[in-house]
Amino acid sequence: MSQKYANIVPSADPTSAEQTGIQPASPKNVIKKLPGEQSSGDAEQERMGKEQAVLLHQRMFADNRDTLIESIDSTNKVVGQLREWAADHWIIHYPETDRVEGTASSSSPNVRRSHSTAPGESLEAGAPQTAAEHPTLHRSYTAAVPHTASAPTTPTRKPLNRSNTLSPSSVDEPKEGEMSVLRLDLKLGATTRNPSALVKTLEKSSIAQLLDGRMSQSQRHLNNLKARISDKQSKVLVTGDLNAGKSTFVNALLRRRVMPTDQQPCTTVFCETLDANESNEGVEEVHMLKNDTPYDRTNESTYTKHSLAEIEKIVADAEELSSEDAPLLKCYCADTRSAKASLLHNGVVDISLIDAPGLNRDSLKTTALFARQEEIDVVVFVVSAENHFTLSAKEFLWNASNDKAYVFIVVNKFDQIRNKDKCKRLVLDQIRQLSPRTYEDAEELVHFVDSSSVFGATPPVTPGEEVKVGNMDEVQGNTEASTSFAALEASLRDFVLQKRSKSKLMPAQTYVLRLLLDLAYVARTNLDIAHVEKTEAQENLNVDRPALKEGEKRHAKLESELEMQEEGIVSGVVQGSRFKLDKALQLISNGQSSEPSLVSLPEWKGLLNVLEYAQQVRTALLESMEASVKTIEDSARGVTIEAVEKIRKMGKDQLPAEAASKENQRVFLPEAMFAKRRNNSRGTAFAGLGLSEDLVEVKLTDLFDLPHYILIVSRKAGLDHLLESASDGKERSLTKQEKENAAAAGGLTLSLGAVTLLGGKTLGAKTLIDSVLKFTSLASNGTVRKWTAPVFAVVGSVLVVWYIRDLPNSIPRNAGRSIAHELQHAPIASTRPSTSGLSTTVSSHASANANAAATTKEGPTFVEFQTNRTARETRRVLRLVSWEVHEMFRVHLSEVRARVEKEENRLKSAKGAQNEFESMLQKVAGIEQRTREVDF
């Protein structure tokens, strides 16, 4: 008994007890003494002592109940907070699956506990179980307050021993490294035998969800426990063999013949008798409960109302029914006795008596289930002294003893026994085997009585009628039977009061302690995991953060390097291409193949084949130009191949090895470069070069380039400025007058120009004018006039011969000059569509040239076009490769960044978890300490 209750007892002081001869009152020593064993003075002392003991029990119960309610509320709050916090911040690790590797044998320095239970301790695990009754629950449970983050450890727990070997499997007990209340009971298929193996295969989040469900269940159970310990009512189930006298015993306790009795087995219903004053506003009546409808006294639709006198009929009507279908009765019965004498109406606790059907094969299961209910605080087992224990009785008693540990046994009809000592010995021997705990306290728990003696010789016939047997309060021990029954009543009353504390409070205490144990186990496991996670996250961040910074720096540097590289390579390609093409054009304008090793000019096949020759020359010159273009493409391709290798190497050099080794690069196909041009050229010859089809056609100027000679002569005649201005690329067209002047001047100087050409050198303007003056003066002379015609004829013939002989050379020159001029001056954009622009007339050609020159700005010239194209293709490939390198960097950096982000979240989460679980451990330790202080 707690020290704080000692001063309630007047004779608690041992000295005082010696002096007065009165033992200190306690629930235990009070009920040890039976009425009749003491003198009247002693009896008075005893009575006072009992009152004190009742008061003491009452206070202890109230205090313990309040403490446990507070513990239940606090525990419920801890569980609720954990669930709420975990929903957003942490996947709770289940201890049995989430041990921290390598730390299995260590114990957490944060929380140290040893856990032991008294022999026979019954522990409530998981779902609501039966009330456990034990004299003491010894448990040493200490939880040190965590100060700082500890090294990773795995919590250990000691198994809870249970020495009651009657039914080892009846109660789930936590084993080493196992959860109890929050244990996940996974029974699926083949893994049923090894649930923890199944747990390990489940996703952590799934397990956390299951655990959350378990915690939710535990919260509901905590609420039920709170409701139960707040409930002032205690239920006493009276059961036993058929016809043992149960109904007679209940009637005797009530001092009224409420339940029908008969020599034949008759009780077929469970009838709970309650004090009408306490429970039904003083109205005596019977409520017959409806199956499957929860009973509510204030709601008449949940039951049918009957009078007390109708009970016998109800019981008789139910005889045909099985015990499972038999109705449940609530019998409100007024107890007129004083609170001191009444069991139902005792002023301390509301007791109800439940008269159960006699045990047989049919009713055994139903009654056993009924007895297991949490609401049943005490089981009174009535056995006939004549028959002792039947098989059904033995089975029931065996199981009931495991559930409740103590059973109050009434050996009835003891008056019928002649050799009472022998009967007592035999019955007690059986009890010793069936319920050892009851046997140990047999003096209090086993009573040999004659229930019928309470009613005297003429028991009342009408059910509900009060018995005229005198007031048991005034029993003076006139008969041995009534004395025995009075002793039984006193013992039963004290037993109910005493056991109420344990039957109601102990399951709550046990459950709360178990739940706290599990919560601490969960907290320590998660604390350890959080510590490991924090350490790992920190270590990873120490690597990844600098790696990310370095990677970003390298990437920025590489970016500018790649840009420079690209610009350098492309400008090299541009310069090389331009140089090559300019040189090619120069050769072509001189009538030579730009690629003599690849393309050679055709052979002269005579004057008759002059047109064919001219065509072949044009084609050959254009082919040589195409070959030159191909040469610059090949050159650009070669440069690009090298550059691609270099760029990739630059990327790999800057990337970490694991990122650089990833083969996610595209395959570079050099031959795919400039494939577009080749595809374009499939349709028309040289179209891929961006050239007009007209360039392939033979022009008249290929045979005799009159405009060229005119141009030369004109230049000599001082018209250079005029014609040059038309061909200098300025955006100006020749006027009609200018063109006519140019043509007239050309006509005048034609012959002289021819002469000067024949001489193999050109004349200056001064010489030209001098020649004209001389020619004029000569023409006025008659002699000269006479020789003019023959001279002209001879000169003309010579010129024709010379012209014909020079055709093999002049055609390539003329065609080459024409092609080169076109390529140098005509914009590609305008060249393509204007197929009819290059006519065969001198004037139109000049005009076309002039137009081409004038529209140069509309598009690039051939050289610019090819140079740009080559550069663009080269740049495209280089950009693609650079993009690949950037992409590798981007992927690598985004991976590192994601890792950093993940580890930062992990770190934050782990730190949060540490705080949460440390705080939880503190709370759990505090609640546990207060809960453990509840002493029964």
Ligand X SMILES: Nc1nc2c(ncn2[C@@H]2O[C@H](COP(=O)(O)OP(=O)(O)OP(=O)(O)O)[C@@H](O)[C@H]2O)c(=O)[nH]1
Cβ closest to ligand X, residue 329 vs residue 695? 329
* Smallest separation (angstroms) from ligand X to the CB of 479: 13
Restricting to residues 349-388, which ones interact with ligand X according to CB under 6 A? Answer: 358
Q: Which is nearer to ligand X, 95 or 358 (CB)?
A: 358
Residue number with CB closer to ligand X (221 or 413): 413
Q: How far is the CB of 381 from ligand X (least distance, A)?
A: 11
Q: Which of 131/318 has CB closer to ligand X?
A: 318
Closest to ligand X by CB, 242 vs 723, is 242
Contacting residue, 267, 280, 367, 482, with ligand X by CB under 6 A:
267
Find the binder of ligand X among 13, 310, 415, 738 (CB under 6 A): 415
Closest residue to ligand X, judged by C-beta, is 358
Strand 303-306 to 285-289 pairing = antiparallel
Tell me the CA distances in angstroms from 782 to 748, 774, 788, 789, one per residue in order.
22, 14, 10, 12
The whole-angstrom separation of Cα 854 and Cα 290 is 111
Is 244 an interacting residue with respect to ligand X (CB under 6 A)?
yes
- Measured from the CB of residue 360, what is the shortest distance to ligand X in angstroms? 9
Provide, rounded to whole angstroms, the least separation between the CB of residue 139 and ligand X.
41
Question: Distances in Å between the alpha carbon of 193 and those of 133, 187, 196?
Answer: 31, 8, 9
Considering the rule CB under 6 A, would residue 412 count as an interface residue with ligand X?
Answer: yes
Contacts with ligand X by CB under 6 A: the residue count is 21
Q: Which of 450, 566, 822, 928 binds ligand X (CB under 6 A)?
A: 450
Work out whether strand 285-289 and strand 328-333 pair parallel, antiparallel, or are unpaired.
antiparallel
> Backbone phi, then psi, for 669, in 5-degree steps?
-110, 100
The residue among 324 and 550 lying less far from ligand X, judged by its C-beta, is: 324
* Closer residue to ligand X in complex, CB, 382/820: 382
Q: Which of 530, 523, 542 is nearest to 908 (CA)?
A: 530
Q: Dihedrals φ, ψ of 428, to 5°?
A: -60, -35
Residue 293 or residue 387: which is nearer to ligand X going by CB?
A: 387
**Taking CB under 6 A as the rule, does residue 323 contact ligand X?**
no
CB 486 within 8 A of CB 449: no
Measuring CA to CA, which residue among 804, 81, 133, 902 is closest to residue 504? Answer: 133
Residue 288: beta bridge partners? Answer: 304, 329
Closer CB to ligand X, 384 or 589, in the complex: 384
Instruction: Identify the residue among 247, 392, 401, 856 touching ligand X (CB under 6 A).
Output: 247
- Within 8 A by CB and 6+ apart from 464, the residues are 256, 257, 258, 284, 307, 308, 309, 311, 333
Q: E strand or H helix at 796, and its extent?
A: helix 782-825
Map residues 828-867 to x or -, x wherever contact with ligand X holds by CB under 6 A: ----------------------------------------
CB within 8 Å of 739: residues ≥ 6 apart:
843, 846, 847
Residue 45 to residues 22, 23, 83, 555: CA-CA distances in angstroms? Answer: 7, 9, 56, 98
Number of Cβ within 10 Å of residue 195's Cβ equals 17
Selected binder of ligand X within 66, 262, 319, 582 (CB under 6 A): 262
Whole-number Å distance between alpha carbons of 552 and 613: 66
Asked if 680 and 640 touch (Cβ cutoff 8 Å), the reply is no
Q: Closest CB to ligand X among 393 and 516? A: 393
Minimal distance in Å, beta carbon 243 to ligand X?
Answer: 4
Binding mask 187-226 for ligand X (x = CB under 6 A): ----------------------------------------
Say how far apart CA 381 and CA 239 lie, in whole Å.
5
* CA separation for the pair 332, 275 (Å, rounded): 6
Supply the minimum distance, in Å, between the C-beta of residue 274 and ligand X: 19
Q: Give the whole-angstrom CA distance, residue 793 versus residue 806.
A: 20
Q: Where are the beta strands (DSSP E) in 638-677?
A: none
390 near ligand X, rule: CB under 6 A: no
Residue closer to ligand X, measured from CB, 173 or 317: 317
Stretch that binds ligand X, among 255-263, 639-647, 672-680, 833-841 (CB under 6 A): 255-263
Q: Which is nearer to ligand X, 359 or 529 (CB)?
A: 359
Q: How far is the CB of 130 from ligand X (least distance, A)?
A: 24
Of the candidates 122, 261, 366, 810, which one interacts with ligand X according to CB under 6 A? 261
Neighbouring CB atoms inside 10 A of 542's CB total 11
Give the residue among 918, 919, 910, 922 at the shortest CA–CA distance from 90. 910
CA distance from start to end of the chain:
7
Q: Which of 265, 436, 460, 926 binds ligand X (CB under 6 A)?
A: 265
Span from 261-269, 280-288, 510-518, 706-714 in contact with ligand X (CB under 6 A): 261-269
CB of 459: closest distance to ligand X in angstroms?
A: 7
Segment interacting with ligand X, rule: CB under 6 A, options 246-254, 364-372, 525-533, 553-561: 246-254
Q: Is 928 in the site for ligand X (CB under 6 A)?
A: no
Give min distance, CB of 467 to ligand X, in A: 13
Decide: is 739 part of the binding site for ligand X (CB under 6 A): no
In the complex with ligand X, the residue whose CB is nearer, 174 or 245, is 245
Q: Cα–Cα distance between 911 and 915 in angstroms, integer?
A: 6
If binding is defined by CB under 6 A, does position 243 make contact with ligand X? yes
**Residue from 330, 331, 110, 80 nearest 215 by CA:** 80
Binding test (CB under 6 A) with ligand X, winner from 451, 592, 619, 849: 451
Residue 438 in the binding site for ligand X (CB under 6 A): no
Q: Which of 169, 263, 458, 836 binds ligand X (CB under 6 A)?
A: 263
The CB-of-412 to ligand X minimum distance in angstroms stands at: 5
The answer to whether residues 383 and 238 touch, using CB atoms and an 8 Å cutoff, is no
**Of 578, 553, 697, 564, which is closest to residue 629 (Cα–Cα)?**
578
10 Å Cβ neighbour count for 339? 11
User: Which SS3 state, helix, strand or coil, does residue 885 take?
Assistant: helix
What single-letter DSSP state applies at residue 381?
E
Using CB under 6 A, which of 19, 29, 293, 416 touches ligand X?
416
Instruction: Please give the single-letter amino acid code of residue 278.
Output: E
CB atoms within 10 A of CB 300: 10
Residues in contact with ligand X, shown as a per-residue x/- string from 223 to 242 under the rule CB under 6 A: -------------------x
Q: Which is nearer to ligand X, 195 or 459 (CB)?
A: 459
Q: Is 847 exposed, middle or buried (0-12, 13-18, 19+ CB in 10 A)?
A: middle
Site string for ligand X, 36-75 (x = CB under 6 A): ----------------------------------------
* Piece in contact with ligand X (CB under 6 A), picked from 202-210, 245-253, 584-592, 609-617: 245-253
Q: How many CB atoms are closer than 10 A to CB 516?
A: 27
CA-to-CA separations, 352 to 344, 375, 665, 714, in angstroms, rounded: 6, 11, 85, 141
Which residue lies nearer to ligand X by CB, 154 or 261?
Answer: 261
Would you say 410 and 444 are in contact if contact means Cβ atoms under 8 Å apart? no
Of 180 and 452, which CB lies nearer to ligand X in the complex structure? 452
Q: Least distance (Å) from ligand X to the CB of residue 389?
A: 14
Q: Is the distance from CB of 162 to CB of 117 less than 8 angstroms? A: yes
Residue number, 244 or 819, with CB nearest to ligand X: 244
Query: For ligand X, which stretch binds (CB under 6 A), given 125-133, 445-453, 570-578, 756-764?
Result: 445-453
Q: Is 246 in the site for ligand X (CB under 6 A)?
A: yes
Contact set with ligand X (CB under 6 A):
242-248, 261-263, 265-267, 358, 412-413, 415-416, 450-452
